[in-house]
Structure 1
């Protein structure tokens, strides 16, 4: 591996982490699944593979197509906000009445499809994912010239490392979440995060 390649990979790794290591709808969901130990591997895989696809698309130049169809971004904003508000309502219900939805349900009692479909929706219905990953990351990757795909490889590695650590490392917080009150606080925070992100999406609609 040449020095230029190593620099591109390291830059992609750092830039990728800077984009995804922040509290958000996707991270909050992965964290909760990790704490519940429910379908962690499929959820982590969906998030990491989705990021990889979007990173490749961005480096390949898909970002320029989004510039030609700004209305599509608005459609995604509305759909994403509607989904986030629905998820926020469910989280708020768990926080307000924890007995109505068992927040600590055993993994065997939870179906795989709802968890996977939620991970897919939180990823692909969020226009910020396209703006950050496809447009911004794709643009930065372009500055590395022939090494741009190595930059992308570093960004993909960052995504895999982060979601794996978040999903499987969440179990280290299990002692804290033995108390029902801790789950209520977590769900209240998740509901607030979802509402804030939904409001941000709607505020960004093209006038």
Structure 2
């Protein structure tokens, strides 16, 4: 059973996040990227919507492709440029990103960051462990808390290029953590995410991924 965490479990989270990270909401975040959202929408309709949806909330039945709606523009820009420059590889994304001009990347970042994310739900039986890992990590095995970079409500930070994770598909989050764990993905600054994932168990990855999907802002 999946449930939203916005009322019962995340009330305190949202109050804290409002003070700590409220200014980092993607749509209002200050950015020097520029970009034209309308041109970004046009390009998204040509090459992105099959996997991410034109509204940026993904496609039903394909949760391995992330939601981009409401994501920080600086983060979207970085990831697309990493794909374009072969600093991050994915069999689907790399060929899509390589032909993009830098202006097109800026436009796509402006477009998707301006959209509203649909949010998500968490598997109730995984919430307790997921919340523990998200908020406190696992000191015994050296797993740090996720809140340190992504914030108590999963808001992330535009300027620091820490992604918004709240409401993201749990399948995508788990897949990403496994890729960092195996070093198949290695475009994290200073190996930060590889270090986080290195000591996580499969159970911890599954639980924290489910918890993250249920976080709401």
TM over 0.5: no
Structure number with the bigger relative contact order (C-alpha 8 A, sep ≥ 6) is 1
- For the pair shown, the structure with the greater C-alpha radius of gyration is 1
TM-score bucket (shorter structure) = under 0.3
Higher helix residue share = 1
Could you state the TM-score of these two structures normalised by the residue count of structure 1?
0.26
| TM-score computed with the length of structure 2 as normaliser | 0.25
